[in-house]
Amino acid sequence: MYNNILFDLDGTLVNSEKGIFLSLHYAFDKCGISYDGDLHNFIGPAFIDSFPYFLKTDKDTTMKLIRFYREKYNAEGVFRTRLYNGISDLLSELKKNGKRIALATTKPKYFAEIILKKKRIRQMFDFVSGSELDGSVNQKDEVIEIVFSKTDFTRSGSVLIGDTVYDCAGARKTGIDCIGVSYGYGNTADLLANGAKNIALSPKDLKKILLDH
């Protein structure tokens, strides 16, 4: 039985692509970068990794992109986020059933806290872990480990809920299970291939999986 539920944020609790895409376009324009690929590639992994990988940027340009992205996201992008239907009910039911809930996101904790408060679900979380603006924490396994170091959550009773292979990898590195959600930015085949124990088709389906487990 999972007593400690760790959630990813983007693509799992919230649909945040409008604000993310807006901020990415702004950063790309400011740095004179043209990108014809899928912007979803930048949702999930840390920018410090994804920008060099997909854009072939050097360290200096990567840091400029991150700075411009945060500038736009802080001013406007963070507010273009909506909860997936059923998330508030899911969190409420988990709390009613004695589950403890934590956030484990590679989005900067600063922005994650704003979103949780704006969407009026911050009170549902026992702990919030996210990346640091100074770059000292930016990987999925790092934010998960912070949850275990700062709370009394036990690994044996914990599960990470996420929508991408990066969530699966983070869970695997920290020794906990991962349940994938198919309504986010990843896909079912990749999630299963990377170790997801189950796939939830919706927040309602996820509630059933977690409460029946």
- In one letter, which amino acid is 212? D
**Cα–Cα distance measured from residue 129 to residue 142, given in angstroms and rounded to the nearest whole number:** 9
Does residue 141 share a domain with residue 68?
no
Encoded tokens for 152: 């009394």
Does residue 52 share a domain with residue 128?
no
Does residue 121 share a domain with residue 68?
no
- Based on the number of CB atoms within 10 Å of its own CB, is 33 exposed (0-12), middle (13-18) or buried (19 or more)? middle
Does residue 27 share a domain with residue 50?
yes
Residue pLDDT tens, the chain, 213 long? 899 999 999 999 999 999 999 999 999 999 999 999 999 999 988 899 999 999 999 999 999 999 999 999 999 999 999 999 999 999 999 999 999 999 999 999 999 999 999 999 999 999 999 999 988 898 999 999 999 999 999 999 999 999 999 999 999 999 999 999 999 998 999 999 999 999 999 999 999 999 986
**Cα–Cα distance measured from residue 56 to residue 210, given in angstroms and rounded to the nearest whole number:** 40
Does residue 67 share a domain with residue 11?
no
Angle between helices 87-96 and 203-212 (to 10 degrees): 20
Does residue 177 share a domain with residue 132?
yes
pTM for the full predicted model: 0.93
Instruction: Please give the pLDDT value at position 53.
Output: 96
Residue numbers of the domain that contains 29: 17-79
Encoded tokens for 174: 């920290």
Does residue 140 share a domain with residue 96?
yes
Does residue 101 share a domain with residue 177?
yes
Does residue 21 share a domain with residue 10?
no
Number of domains in the chain: 2
Beta bridge partners of 158: 4
Largest interatomic CA distance in the chain:
51
Q: Which of 32, 64, 79 is the last residue of a domain?
A: 79
Does residue 22 share a domain with residue 63?
yes
CATH number at residue 192: 3.40.50.1000
**Cα–Cα distance measured from residue 170 to residue 139, given in angstroms and rounded to the nearest whole number:** 8
E strands of 3-157, at which residues? 4-7, 14-15, 82-83, 100-108, 127-131
Instruction: Please give the pLDDT value at position 135.
Output: 84
